[in-house]
Amino acid sequence: MIIFGILIINVLDILGVIDYISRTAGRPLTALLKLPEEIIPVMILGFLRKDVSIAMLAPFGLSAKQFIISSIFLVLYLPCVASFFTLKKEMGLLTTLKIVLLTLASAFLVSILLNFIL
């Protein structure tokens, strides 16, 4: 599943979809969390492997505050692809989408609060 997910991400990157998502969805995210736009593709990749995406933040030269906020966001924002499909199988698509939206909203709220606190 992970290899298939990486294939899909690469195809989306070649087609320019990742750039489009980075430009549209990335601006509010980076504005609210004070993170550079360049890490948006890493956050998208976090859906496939959270541990890898956190490690991929290192080359961006983030400050300690930015690294903490982005790491917390990556941990909270979506279930990984394996969890997503397990939830879909066990709970159905509608409940899975509710869980995804709830975790995404929670990740935003926690990360925005951390941004103001730190």
Mean pLDDT of 28-46: 81
**pTM score, whole prediction:** 0.78
Does the structure show a pLDDT above 80 at 115?
Answer: yes
Domain spans of the chain, in order of start:
2-117
* Cα separation values, 60 from 15, 39, 102, Å: 24, 8, 29
Task: Note the pLDDT tens digit of each residue in 60-105.
Answer: 889 999 999 988 988 888 777 778 888 889 999 999 999 989 998 9
Q: What local confidence, expressed as pLDDT, does residue 1 receive?
A: 64
Does the structure show a pLDDT above 90 at 110?
Answer: yes
Q: pLDDT over 90 for what percent of the chain? A: 24
Q: How far apart are CA 78 and CA 64, in angstroms?
A: 23
